[in-house]
Every structure is written in structure tokens, then in C-alpha cells.
Structure 1
Amino acid sequence: MKYLINTLKIIGTILLLFVVVVLAQNIGIVWHALHLHSFKYILHGITYLVVALLLFKLVANKVYKRNLAYFRITRFKFIKVCVLLGLLLPIVVMSFYLIFIPGHWVVTDLKSNQEYSAMLIEIFFLGGIVAPIVEEMMFRGFLLKYIEKKTNIYVALGLTSVLFGAIHLVNGKLTGMSLIMLLAAGTAVGLMYGLAAYKFNTVWASIPLHMFWNMSAVITLTDHNMEYGVIQYIIKANNTFLTGGTYGMDASGISIIGYITVAVLLIYWRRFYSTEKQKL
């Protein structure tokens, strides 16, 4: 009976947080009804972030009788190792493709400067800053901590990672290997983010990893012209392991290896750090 009750509570929490995020997102989208050109994207992002944070705080205080810090949503912390790994991951993955996979460069050609500025705001602000903060507060903040307390950290890391991978299925109709690669990649990257937040006890460990990966889309690795990013490196390959299938390079086998490598480094770096600290 206790297992059933905890399962229902976890499902209820997942649904509640999805409602919070969708509501915050839709409130932010209201700005698009106004003719504010590229500025509407900035207002959209700011509104989305502020509303989401306020709603998360309301849910934590009123529903769960906790403060945000309990859910690892702490004050800003600068964690050097996570910033460093966040920068290195996309650089190493991109370098692999540039060195070992033949391809050619294409400068993305958009119809107007307005479209170009909107794309940059989407990559660096909406996708690179706002989305990672909100998603990390939800998955590696609320859900990871709540599921951990109801079960254990292993179930929490596994469930939140699989769920994080699964939500990316809404981005398009995927079948076959494309579907498998996306689920594998989403789970692997979710595990990487989850381990960072858990090991350092704050979402400010996973946020820079998430931010820098998303921002790397300014240079798009692809197997066809996507008209996205400032420049594109279009590879000559049909192997789903290399291309990531329909979803793209984020779901490629090379990216998955990168996610897992960073996760392992976080585990062993934290152990090494703890051991050295005890010696002092």
C-alpha cells in the first residue's frame, strides 16, 4: 500500500510540475501577440523564467511545506568544474566531427536581419539560459529530490533521466533507430545533469552543463541544411549512430559517449575531491 501511495504521489508531482512549466511558458508567449519584433523573444524569456520561479516557490511553500533550497534550488553558486566540463563537452564533440567526419561548411542564410536576431536570441537566451534554468529546477531540483525521498537516489536519477529523454519525443514524430537514439541520448544527458546536481547539492551544478550544450547550437552539426545556427557543418554520413537520426546530433552516439564520459568524470572527481578534503 505504501508503495502504491508513493507511486501516486510521484505521478501527481510530475503532472503538477508539468502544469507549472506549461503555464509559465504560455504566459511568456503572450508577448508574441504584440508587434515588438525581436524584443518579444526577450520579454518571453524573462516572463517565462520569473513566472516559473514564482510558481515553483509557491508549490514548494504551500504544497510541500518546504523552501526552494530543500529541492536544491539554491542561491547562485559558481562551480568551476561544472563550468569547465560544460565548455569542454561541446568542444570535444564538435572537434571529433570536424577532424574525423568529412563535411562542408554552410553559412545559414536567413531572409532578414530580424529573423537572424530572433534566432540568436532563441539560441543564447531562450534556449541557452532560460530553458536550462527552468528545466533544471523542475527535473534536477523538484523531481530528483522528491523522488529520492520517496524511494532512493538511484531510482530518482533513473526515473528523472528517462522522463527527461521521453519529453523530447514531443519535438517530432520519430520511429525506429531515431526513436531509440533519442531516448538513449535524453536519458544519458539527464543522468549527467542529475549526477551534477546531486553531487554538488545544487541545480547550479547542472545548469552550466545544460546551458553550454544548448548554446553550442550556434554552430550546428547536421547531415542536411537545417537553416539554423550561425554556421552549419554538414557531414557526409548516413549512419544513425553518427547523425543521431531525425532528431540530430544531440542524439548521436558521439554525443551519448560525451554525456556518459562527463557523468563518470563528475562521479570520480567528486570522490577525489572529498578524499583530499578529508586529508586536509
Structure 2
Amino acid sequence: MTTASVCSTPPVADLVAELLCESAPGAAWQATAFRAAWSDGPAARITSGSRTVIAALHAGHTTLSWSNRGEGATVPIIAVPAADAESIAREILRCALPDLDTQNAPADDRSRPAREFLDGLHDYFAARNIPASTWHTNNGTTMCAFMRGSAVINLRSPMSHPTLDLEYGGREFFGGTLRDLEKLLRLLTPVRPHSSYISLDGGATGALARRLTAQLPHANMSQDSPYASVSFGQNVGPAGQIEAPDDLVRVHDDIPVHAEVSRLGLDFTRSILDRLIHVDA
């Protein structure tokens, strides 16, 4: 087996570091050559302060690893079906950084970064003349609500994590539409593979699940029964549930829907905020 040299940093890793500097402020991101334990190919260690991600480059795809739940970065955690800097940076923001930030959260107040992030959105919305409301609850969480077309988006800080939860529509009145929710989910789900992807787990049994699987085949949609809510997501990155107000309703573009999504990283949310607010962005 040929052994790749690790003397030089892969050029794409430097580009990834530059993109992360734009979306994940703080200590500067730097990329250095690295020998990944699971690959003899080119790889890089991409670091900012206490946050470190290992990216191993393969033919047409990239594997990423980071310190995860007490384990070192010794095995790949996710595979990105692309090798361009933008896709790699997106998956680091979407999956790796929320995990790392949860591990490094302040021991005395783990949700403080999320509350501070939501408080800081006031200036963002005010500068763009976008109506929004931010408030604090008695149990110590912070909420920020704004409109996305006809749907209310509610961002809230969990009580014990430095990430965000997102609610689309409302459980009571189901604002928004399925077509718009599908656009939003494309922001939150993994990079789509170049080749066609067919789910073989048989988990999409109801009409809503079949529609979402057809539109987002790479998002790991599942459903316990034809009339249950539809779930998506894996062990890392955003995960959530989607439901329609009537299990028996005919599924089409304009049916109202309700969704709840958890594990949104702060840097990832910052990177998609404009597209999260504007339906046509």
C-alpha cells in the first residue's frame, strides 16, 4: 500500500479554515497536515482553540472525526459525499461544532452561550427592520420568534445544552406549508449525494413520510406507523419531528405542517440565518 506524505496541508483544508473563520468567529481557524488513523490519504487537522476536527480526503468524498462523547478523534464519525471546501465546512458547522461545544460548555451554566446568542439577535433583526420578539421564561430558557412567510419560527435555548431548538409553525395552528418546510429542511439536513439515494429501511410508510423521503431521500426519514410524526436525523447534527394537523389529509404543497428540530449549533445557525428568515433566500 502506498503511503501519502503528510508534509503539506491539503489546499482544500486551508479553504475550509477560511470559511470557518467567516462563520465561526473566535480564535482563528488553522489547518495543518495530519495522518488520520483510518486513512493513508491526505488529511488535515483543522483547529480553533479547543475545537479540533480531522478531515480525511478520499476520491470524491471526505470523512470527518472529532473528539466525541469521551472518545478521541480516532475513527470517522460522518462521511461528506463531496470534497469541496464549502461542503466540508458546512458539515463541520452542522455536525462537529455543536458536538464539541456541548462537550466544552461552561460547567456552571451549560446553556448560557445559547441564551447569549438569542439575546444578540435583537440587533441583527433591528438592523434589517425585521419584526422579532425575544423573551426569557421562568425556567431559564430564552425564546426568539419571527415570521418566515406565513410560518412562525421560534428559536429557543435548551436548559442544559449550548445549542438551539427550532419550532416551525405551531402545534396549535400549524402555520406555514409543506413546500416551505421542505426548503427549510434542505438547510438543515446533510449534503446531498451526487448519485441517487434510495432508503431501504422501509420506515416511510405514511403519505407525509413518503413525500418527505422523495424530496429529501438522504435525510434518513423514518416513521413508527403510517399515522405517527415523521422523524429525521442521526446521532450528530440536527434532528427533529414533522407532523400534519390531520393524519388522513391528502398531502400536497400547501398543507399546513408543524416541525420541531433540536441540536442546531450556534455557528451553524449564524451561517444560515438569512435563509432561515427569508422564504426566497
TM-score normalised according to structure 2 size: 0.27
The structure with the largest strand share of the pair is: 2
Q: Which of the pair is proportionally richer in helix?
A: 1
Structure with the larger RCO, 1 or 2 (CA within 8 Å, 6+ apart):
1
